[in-house]
Amino acid sequence: MPRYTYIDHTNISGDVGQLDFISTQTEYIQINDTNISGNLSGVTLDYRVKSFFTQNNTGMTGIEDFIDYIWVARKNWLNSFSINTSNIGDSPSGVYEQGDIGTFSGHPWDLTAAEINFLVQGLDYTGSGSNTPWTPLQKIYYLISAMVSEFSTTKKYKISQWTY
């Protein structure tokens, strides 16, 4: 049976970083139009999550740390899931596009996880040299768009949508 946490249109206040979505195995999370504040970097999600929706909570910040958390755990998600972090206290930086792949001459989908991690950090895909580090929005682009390979239509990761 799915587990839901809905906190909508209330005057409840608290710190989002203190909410526990792992021990409750929450699959659907909606925090909308509340006074809940705090840093999203403290949020941890159960790997079975199907939706994380927080909108119109201007006291919430830390979107870039939250993107990093999702990025690091990108292979662990068990279900396709969507994320909405719109109209909170901050916004992700960058442009929603494919990040720089350095000297790699193939298709971006053919890069390994280790090679992608080097590129994200500002190294060339080999782990040496330098490259332009990826912005948070470029990470979101890759999470949503990446396929298993250049010739596949199977998504590499389970993130289906991210509204920011």
- Residue 52's pLDDT is what? 95
Lateral strand order in the sheet of 81-84: 4-8, 28-32, 51-55, 81-84, 159-163
CB 64 within 8 A of CB 92: yes
- What is the residue type of 133? P
CB 59 within 8 A of CB 87: no
The alpha carbon torsion through 158, 47, 3, 11 (nearest 10 deg) reads -90
Task: Walk along the chain (164 residues) in steps of 10 and give the mean pLDDT of each run.
Answer: 86 82 88 91 91 94 95 92 94 96 95 96 95 96 94 92 92
- Residue 47's pLDDT is what? 93
- Residue 29's pLDDT is what? 94
